[in-house]
Amino acid sequence: MNVQAQICGIILLVIMFLFYRRYESLRLGTQIAFQVLMAGMLLCVFLDMLSVWAIVRLLSDHRMLVLCICKLYLMSIVMVTLLGFLYECADVYGGQKRFLYVTVIACSAFLVESIVIGCLPIGIYKMGRVVYTAGPSVLSTYVFACSFLVSNVIFTIRKRKQGNPRRSQVILFWMAMWTVAALTQFLNNELLLVGYAGALGVLVIFFRLENPEYLTDRITGLYNQDALLLYAQKLYNGEKNFAVMSVWWNLGVSQADEGAREQAVMVAFAKRMPKFDGTKVFKMADDEAWLIFEDPEHAENNVEKLKSYMEYGRRELGGMAQVEFTYLADTTLVNDYQEMIHLMQYARWKSKDHSASNFKQVDSAFVEQMRQEKRMEQMLEEAMKEDRIEVFYQPIYSTKEKRFVSAEALVRMRDRDGNLVPPGSFISVAEANGKILPLGEIVFDKVCRFFTRESLEQYGLHYIEVNLSVIQCSYAGLAEDYIGIMEKYQINPRYINLEITESASMAAKKTLLENMSRLMEYGVYFSLDDFGTGQSNLNYIVDMPVNIVKFDREMSQAFFRDEKAKYVMNAAMQMIHGMKLKIVSEGIETKDQYLAMEELDIDYIQGYYFSKPLPEAEFLSFLQENNEKVVKNA
């Protein structure tokens, strides 16, 4: 039965080895260490079976040869425990120099232990078909193997956060299974379980961690995102400079066909892409692939070839409307593989060129731009958690009532030193990383709380205007979330006026209209903000159920600089008033501008002529001082 168990172990290891060889290896540290572990385990099981055969067949005539074979088997047991330890080290240290240092020390210890095992006497026992070894050489083997096992367990537990958590669990399971087998064999020498148990442990590692299919996309045969992470980490740990290129495409088809067409294009890309030496290709999405060139100089020679290939095959690859490239020639510009991946994703997000083909080479200035936005993103997250988000209010003057009847709520952020951060530097970041939704809710919550706490209606305010970004307008849950906040503070919805922009209505018109309908049913009013920017036309006013139209600052200022702008503004104003809508003119900075707008019959005036945006306390003081004057003068 013992020989049968060893044969089963050998068959399992050979099958695993052959399966592994079917796939191209990324030469990751863990892959190399696992292949060495498989080979060591195969040798161990083979020597186990060979020692049994030698004892049965050769003991009487070739005793010294049998003793050597048995001691080689004992040494192989210690070797496998060493290889298991180095396999875990390969995960924790990767390609770092520390791994080489640990390997040299461990191999030196194994060499010394092998000499000890070879010098100590060994006893060979044969009782019928049952054979086993004993004596000082065997005992020293158990001691040395246990020392490596214990070292591995301690190392795995201490370094579990630095390596793959699943690998740590599997290694500990293997160590436990092998320890049980070794103790069983130690207590009952007739059962030769160590080799077979070790083979089963390697099989568990294979299926849980080292199956090459886990790193391969099944449809295209390209490496997947997990493989990219491991490969890039290996290159950075080895302090190697390499080049990265991302290629993505836009098919210009309807959303219904997009998924299937993109996948078909990716399959065609995988089959037809020319092979470059030292280059690995990774599928990142159905419409995006990354190439890593291990030799940057070699990459320079092939970039133009790849661009030409993609241009030539553009129509064949599914009739793509555009092919775009991002190329990082020097990966030493970034600190680690995680920053490199973030940089390439950031470059795609930043791409604004939608021509038939676009090539962007990343340089140090672009890297610094990304890092600045990353720092701003971190500052924004911290400010939101630490309640350093504030709302300032810019008063809005009514030309009819001759007093301030509303205000626009504007978000502000302070750093940890209490200094205000320019809104332009963090609003775009919030929109890019999805933080604009929680940020918008924080602002709206503060506005509702401020209005109800201070009873702003007693100061003559009719409503507060709150801006909605493009991202917020495309969020289906906006209406319910905002209604929940208003109900939380029991604020009358007529005190809230939400500002949308023309770009918002273009980007997510259906969702926006559904949100607007729900909020208007609740009692909220809407304004069309920044009229006069972008693709401005009166269709927006016709389509959007708004009550107020706000002339953008540039449009207001153009009125005083350009005769054509005067005609445009006059015409727009007459049409808007004809639709029974109110008008706010933003950006009014002088008395002459104010008087001109008042003469034009503009309903509301907003700008620095009256006041800059003010924090809550100053805004209340401003209302008390100015609206009381109006009452007294009346």
465, β-bridge pairs: 408, 497
Burial pattern 585-615, b for ≥16 Cβ within 10 A else e, equals bbbbeeeebbebbbebebbbbbbebbbebbe
Phi, psi of 417 (to 5 degrees): -90, 0
What is the number of other CB atoms lying within 10 angstroms of the CB of residue 80?
26
User: Which of 106-110, 528-532, 615-619 has the highest mean predicted lDDT (pLDDT)?
Assistant: 615-619
Q: Domain containing 168 — which CATH number?
A: 1.20.1070.10
Assess whether pLDDT exceeds 80 at residue 117: yes
pTM over 0.75: no
Phi, psi of 609 (to 5 degrees): -60, -35
Same domain, 87 and 196: yes
Q: How far is CA 188 from the centre of its chain?
A: 53
Look at residue 93 in the predicted model and tell me its pLDDT: 80
254, β-bridge pairs: none
Over residues 20-79, the pLDDT tens digits come to 777 777 888 888 888 888 888 888 888 888 888 888 888 777 888 988 988 998 898 889
Nearest-angstrom CA–CA distance, 372 and 424: 13
Nearest-angstrom CA–CA distance, 615 and 618: 6
What is the 8-class DSSP label of residue 214? G
595 falls within a domain: yes
Same domain, 257 and 231: yes
Phi, psi of 530 (to 5 degrees): 55, 35
Same domain, 164 and 223: no
381 falls within a domain: no
Same domain, 425 and 544: yes
374 falls within a domain: no
Same domain, 106 and 252: no
393, β-bridge pairs: 409, 614
16 falls within a domain: yes
Same domain, 208 and 232: no
Same domain, 303 and 435: no
Same domain, 441 and 346: no
274 falls within a domain: yes
Over residues 206-265, the pLDDT tens digits come to 887 788 778 888 888 888 888 888 888 888 877 778 888 888 876 655 444 555 666 666
Assess whether pLDDT exceeds 80 at residue 163: no
CA distances from 74 to 79, 83, 116 (A): 9, 15, 11
Domain boundary among 214, 240, 273: 214
Over residues 130-159, the pLDDT tens digits come to 666 778 998 888 888 888 878 878 887 887
463 falls within a domain: yes
9 falls within a domain: yes
Nearest-angstrom CA–CA distance, 525 and 632: 31
Look at residue 223 in the predicted model and tell me its pLDDT: 87
What is the number of other CB atoms lying within 10 angstroms of the CB of residue 627?
20
Please report where in the chains the tokens 């109110």 appear, as a residue.
Answer: 582
Domain that holds residue 21: 2-214
What is the number of other CB atoms lying within 10 angstroms of the CB of residue 181?
20
371 falls within a domain: no
549, β-bridge pairs: 528, 583
Same domain, 395 and 478: yes
Distance in Å from the first CA to the final CA of the chain: 110
Q: Domain containing 550 — which CATH number?
A: 3.20.20.450
Same domain, 531 and 422: yes
The count of structural domains within the chain is: 3
Q: Domain containing 329 — which CATH number?
A: 3.30.70.270
